[in-house]
Amino acid sequence: MTKDDLYQLIYISQARRPMAHDELMVIQGEAIARNSEVGVTGVLLYGGGKFMQLLEGPREVLAELFGRIALDMRHERTRLLHHGPTQTRLAPSWSMGLANADRPGAAMSIESLESCIRAYASGRSTADPATSLVHAFERMVHGFEGAQEASA
């Protein structure tokens, strides 16, 4: 794979019904198993019944994967927010990182992240949406770890 092949894709979708953390971990497990075989990395955010996912990897692989994910009956109304080439992976160490905004201690709602990405898509913001998403992911994961420490 040359660097030119590397693409990023961000979508949002609506869960068909509220997801328990266990169910999210099942999705993450499936994603990790398959993504690690095909050179895909990314993060999956969940909150308020919505999913937001960053996928990064070879262009053709992402096209096939996004087609498959969009058909998954666990969610609906899949909407592509961002798709384009990139030089570097923003989540190189995550075959699929998971952050659940509904868990106690999560530092951000999915709605605030979505509005930031919409601002980018409409040209009102210069913030890179994939960078914003990974930062939100890191804040959410960090917030959750902090909550665990606080209650320990």
Ligand X SMILES: Cc1cc2nc3c(=O)[nH]c(=O)nc-3n(C[C@H](O)[C@H](O)[C@H](O)COP(=O)(O)O)c2cc1C
Amino acid identity for residue 31 in this structure: A
Residue 100 lies near ligand X (rule: CB under 6 A): no
Q: Least distance in Å: CB of 68 to ligand X?
A: 5
Distance between CA atoms of residues 126 and 128, nearest Å? 6
Nearest to 28 by CA among 109, 146, 141: 141
Instruction: Select the residue interacting with ligand X from 9, 12, 27, 62 (CB under 6 A).
Output: 27
- The angle that helices 21-38 and 59-70 make with each other, rounded to 10 degrees, is 150
Residue with Cβ nearer ligand X (32 or 119): 32
118: contact with ligand X by CB under 6 A = no
User: Looking at 45, 65, 90, 134, which residue binds ligand X (CB under 6 A)?
Assistant: 65
Give the residue from 80, 97, 78 showing the smallest Cα distance to 139.
Answer: 97
Report the nearest approach of ligand X to the CB of residue 152 (Å). 30
Going through 86-135 in order, the beta strands assigned E by DSSP cover 97-100
- Encoded tokens for 76: 């609906």
Number of amino acids touching ligand X (CB under 6 A): 16
Among 16, 18, 29, 30, binds ligand X (CB under 6 A): 30
Rounded to whole angstroms, how far apart are CA atoms 74 and 40?
A: 21
CB of 122 to ligand X, least distance (A): 24
- Which residue from 58, 68, 67 is spatially nearest to 89, judged by alpha carbons? 58
Q: Does 77 bind ligand X (CB under 6 A)?
A: no
Query: Which residues of this protein are in contact with ligand X, per CB under 6 A?
Result: 27, 30-31, 34-35, 44, 51, 53, 55, 65, 68-69, 72, 74-75, 96
